[in-house]
Structure 1
Amino acid sequence: MNIVLFAHPLFIGHASMPRYTQWLVDGMTARGHRVQVWMPEPHVHNLPVPTRFKKWMGYIDQYLLFPRWVRRHMAAQPADTLYVFSDHALGPWVPLAAAQPHVIHCHDLLAQQSALGQVPQNPVSATGRVYQRYIRSGYTQGRVFIAISRKTEQELRTFIGPAPESHVVYNGVNPRFHPAADIEGQRAALGRQLGIDLSRGFVLHVGVNTWYKNRPGVLEIYDRWRHGAPAEALPLLMVGPPPPPALAERHAASPNAADVHFLTGISDEVLVALYGVATVFLFPSIAEGFGWPIAEAMAAGCPVITTDAAPMTEVAGEAGFYIPPMDAPMSGGASWASRSAEVVDQVVALSPEARRDAIAHGFEQVRRFDSEAALDRIEAIYRKTLAAQSAT
């Protein structure tokens, strides 16, 4: 099978999508398929213009120049070609291959829902609403979709209706995420490398500054937990990009600012090591398409605290420790942060036996997200789609 994989251009700076695309490339190549990655090049984007115009220059590359390039190259593709869109947000290009065998991967519909006013936490500008409508007009012409969670598939159906074919294939967890062989030794080594005392353990969060990752909520929970004078006043490590001004100000005002560390630009090796020796992984996301870090933490033997809402509950299952969603009504006058802090205290205070049980449940749960099994399932959908659409 010849797979043409449409991907987001690198110049827009996505973090997770290039990783997902490469996972598909490596997996399908290993299964004997020919894989080409088609993405716009920054011809206009790289012109010396003020920063505020860069996005618009990128749109010229993506939606004017790239489609012309695609049309020229499609004519040279062999008969066994399947066109794969690595993200439904590439919708403007879907009409180029709508008449050909194709599959569209769908990760989350948050931007689409926000543009329709369905997500009050994320208001969208008038131009943003037009852009999301442009994306929707493209991907709704698709015929076969793969969603990364049942929650995402349910939301997708509200946009595409009942007719197109859809499947759920959970993300696969990279086998590099594994438990630490020597927790004390690895904590000491990481502490020296990062310049932080990690000997007693730490609370870990991994995420970017996107609103739904709820990084301010992480700080709020941590401060409330520390206010309760826990026996183990562990530091908080927040892995991701530098905090934006509002979050940096929130951090500076925290009474525990000296114990909160933003780690930016760390290697995958260090990230794996951090997962493997953290006391607890705190992931109070407001929404997700899947929630990859939850599975990564469980695979590395770290207990997970996350939001009691889909798809976080799909990923963590019975192995997770749950906090209420931020908008959930609280009884007894308690705040969201105080209820969440109680769960942090519960997990940090687990007995050695209870902690071993929690980790074992995490290992059992994460077997659902075997990377090779996921790729096998995706390959089967690709083959079926190519055969069915080629026959019509």
Structure 2
Amino acid sequence: MDSLGITLFRNYVEDERFSMEVYADGLVKALRTHCAGRCHLHEYIPRLPRGSKAGLWGMRLARYGRYPWQARGHSGQINHIVDPGYGHLLYILDPKRTVVTVHDLIPLVRWMGGIPGCPRGRKPWFNLFSFRALRRAVRLITDSENTRHDLMKILKIPSERISTIYPGIDKNFRPYGPEEKSLAGAVLGLPGSQAKRVLVVGSQFYKNHGTAVLACARLRARYAKPLQLLKLGPPTPEFKAAVQNHGLEDITRYLVGVPGENLAALYNSVDILLFPSLYEGFGWPPLEAMACGTPVVASNAASLPEVIGDAGFMCSPHDHDGLAQAMYALLTDNDLRLAAIERGLIRASLFQWEKVARQTLAVYELVADHDHHG
């Protein structure tokens, strides 16, 4: 087969959908490194007009109005939309030559009452417009079997049109030695301390911050040594209220403005990643933490068992006592901790971008062959 021309339709940078950027960056780099002879890649990155504002309605106008108009002139031999939130581009691009990666359908799942412990919320009209267009795509790629099942159940898309390809992880995520850890702490403003550090990440409603803070409060009541709760990013109202309600202000610190390139340093500077999410389409943070040799305590919701496997400690996202008990065990049993670190490193090593590139190329070739004989 001749080299395929692939056009990758990326997000507006101003959309600030960090996980989508991580996926697109990793895929592009891997395809160009490992599949260069079999495909040539063109990235289309939309730009806002100079002087325009990237507020809520400004971004909606750009996403649903300007981008489809721009995309029309950039169609490739095979098109790949990397974010299902831009699925409405399928109304413009030839669906018989277009692949979409679907990371999750969380707005729809929430609206349908499919996230236990989370209020349903309003009907997501804009998301519905984009997600319904996914039915038009000749092929869909999902980050997990959980998202694949959501596509089949909610949008009634046949299983034979969906391929599950787990994302890879950047080699930047690795365990640091003692000197590197010391330097990382200095860069992050986290000097050496006797306190054990628990990291909580994310700002979305489904990150379950109330339970995370309550679990830390239970841990503090039982753990006799110094403890520090780190929150990556500014506090959400839920997180801040929970910290105040449980009297954890004195041990809580907010890390704001940490760039993506410093995430590995952050994971290497903490003792546990606490990730009791109510729902995930994949779950980057647990994988990144495990790759850095940081044990993970997480929920067993949605896709997380697929990502974590037997390498982390998982329980119900509503079981704050179970989460606290798992953290306590990791902080007090060194053999258990070392075993968890080893399992985590092995698990994380399975998620390779080279594998992602080759599996994705196979999807492109399948679509091209179908179009040729179609």
TM-score (norm 2): 0.89
Output one character per residue of 1:275-328: Cα deviation in whole Å (capped at 9) or x when no partner.
2242222111111011111111111111111112331111111111122221xx
Does residue 181 (structure 1) correspond to residue 182 (structure 2)? The answer is: no
1:220 aligned partner: 214
1:21 aligned to 21, 24, 30, which one? 24
Aligned-residue offset at 1:200 = 3.0
1:253-332 equivalences in 2 (<5 Å): 253-326=245-318
1:344 aligned partner: 327
The secondary structure found in structure 1 opposite 2:362 is: helix
Aligned-residue offset at 1:188 = 4.0
How has the CA–CA distance of structure 1 residues 187 and 231 changed in structure 2, closer, same or farther, with 3 Å as cutoff? farther
Q: Is the 8 A contact 1:122 1:211 kept in 2?
A: no
Tell me, in whole angstroms, the C-alpha distance in 1 between the residues paired with 2:346 and 2:102.
26
1:7 aligned to 5, 10, 30, which one? 10
The amino acid across from 2:118 in the alignment is Q
Tell me, in whole angstroms, the C-alpha distance in 2 between the residues paired with 1:206 and 1:387.
45
Output one character per residue of 1:230-278: Cα deviation in whole Å (capped at 9) or x when no partner.
1333212222x21134433433444231211111112345321232242
Asked which structure has the greater RCO (Cα within 8 Å, sep 6+), the reply is 2
1:32-71 equivalences in 2 (<5 Å): 32=36, 33-43=39-49, 46-47=51-52, 54-71=55-72
Output one character per residue of 1:73-114: Cα deviation in whole Å (capped at 9) or x when no partner.
43xx5xxx1100102221211122244412110101111222
Aligned-residue offset at 1:209 = 0.9
Tell me, in whole angstroms, the C-alpha distance in 2 between the residues paired with 1:106 and 1:22.
16
The secondary structure found in structure 1 opposite 2:288 is: helix
Tell me, in whole angstroms, the C-alpha distance in 2 between the residues paired with 1:319 and 1:104.
30
Aligned-residue offset at 1:148 = 0.5
Identity of aligned residues (%): 24
How has the CA–CA distance of structure 1 residues 225 and 107 changed in structure 2, closer, same or farther, with 3 Å as cutoff? same
Tell me, in whole angstroms, the C-alpha distance in 1 between the residues paired with 2:103 and 2:302.
14
Output one character per residue of 1:6-63: Cα deviation in whole Å (capped at 9) or x when no partner.
122122221211221122222222222332223443239x446xx8xx3233333222
Q: Is the 8 A contact 2:195 2:226 kept in 1?
A: no
Does residue 381 (structure 1) correspond to residue 363 (structure 2)? The answer is: yes
Aligned-residue offset at 1:171 = 1.2
Structure 2, unpaired ranges of 5+: none
Q: Is the 8 A contact 1:149 1:170 kept in 2?
A: yes
Structure 1, unpaired ranges of 5+: 327-335
The root-mean-square deviation of aligned C-alpha atoms, in Å, is 2.4
2:131 aligned partner: 136
2:92 aligned partner: 96
Tell me, in whole angstroms, the C-alpha distance in 1 between the residues paired with 2:220 and 2:200.
20
The amino acid across from 2:349 in the alignment is R
The amino acid across from 2:252 in the alignment is V
Aligned length: 366
The amino acid across from 1:212 in the alignment is Y
Runs of 4+ in 1 over 6 A off after TM superposition: none
How has the CA–CA distance of structure 1 residues 314 and 163 changed in structure 2, closer, same or farther, with 3 Å as cutoff? closer
How has the CA–CA distance of structure 1 residues 117 and 311 changed in structure 2, closer, same or farther, with 3 Å as cutoff? closer
2:118 aligned partner: 121
The amino acid across from 2:14 in the alignment is F
The amino acid across from 1:72 in the alignment is G
1:329 aligned partner: none
The amino acid across from 1:235 in the alignment is Q
TM-score (norm 1): 0.85
2:73 aligned partner: 72
Does residue 151 (structure 1) correspond to residue 157 (structure 2)? The answer is: no
2:230 aligned partner: 237
